[in-house]
Structure 1
Amino acid sequence: MVRWSEDLQQYEEYGLRARRGGWVIDSGGAVIAVLTVGWKSPRTIAGRNWPVYLEYLVTDEHHRSGGHGSRLVRYAIQELARQGCQGVYLKVFKGDDGWESALRFWERHGWTEHCDLTTDRHIVMTKEIASAPPP
């Protein structure tokens, strides 16, 4: 959790100029789910630039299957849309425990797998985001 804390601290200090951003769900002061993104040099996937990389989505093992990850993903996507982001990419690492469940999770949330970028180590997925109308 130290790395996520550092990412969140940087986001608080630098706002939208931060290289990373994150959202948490907590219960009684304990963090139960974390989602972080990184603004990187754009990656070209399927002929389009994707500047935001979803780095982590982790839910405490005692709180899994409670919908916290889904809720966090929906909220993060809404916030990224509000900030003008039009798409996000991620990697599902095949060596991670539960990677097949993770792949199904992202597919259920409308992420697209890019088979041409799939390797022995990871699967690249993208999510189109419709920008929110200006306030």
Structure 2
Amino acid sequence: MRYETAILEMIRTSEDHMTAEQVFLALKKQYPSVVLATIYNNLNSLCQQGKIRKISMEGSPDRYDRNTRHDHLVCRRCGQLSDVQLADLTRELERQTGVSIDGYDLRIRYLCPRCRAELAAEAEEKS
């Protein structure tokens, strides 16, 4: 239980979307005897309890996030994940689908400013 509380607090207060490995490395500073399997078990338990959410993206390790209403911007080049606050679309989605929706996870793919600048610089070098 002590690990679960510490992990929950870490996820809730983090500005990043941490991987299990990042949670492990951060928690190991406070609890040197913790093992990675314990981190995965606690993260899975917290997800099942609905206290945090897991964000899975192809080609990247799962990331964990606080369970508050928000969506994400995902850079299609570097994979950077950023929170974005958009209007809640639940009622509109329910109207369009004709079913009651418990929740949704909107991920908008885009090119982040850093990647856009890098690509522009690469194109400039080529010309």
Name the TM-score class by shorter chain.
under 0.3
Relative to the length of structure 2, the TM-score reads 0.28
Higher normalized helix content (fraction of residues): 2
Higher normalized strand content (fraction of residues): 1
Which protein shows a greater Rg?
A: 2
Relative to the length of structure 1, the TM-score reads 0.26
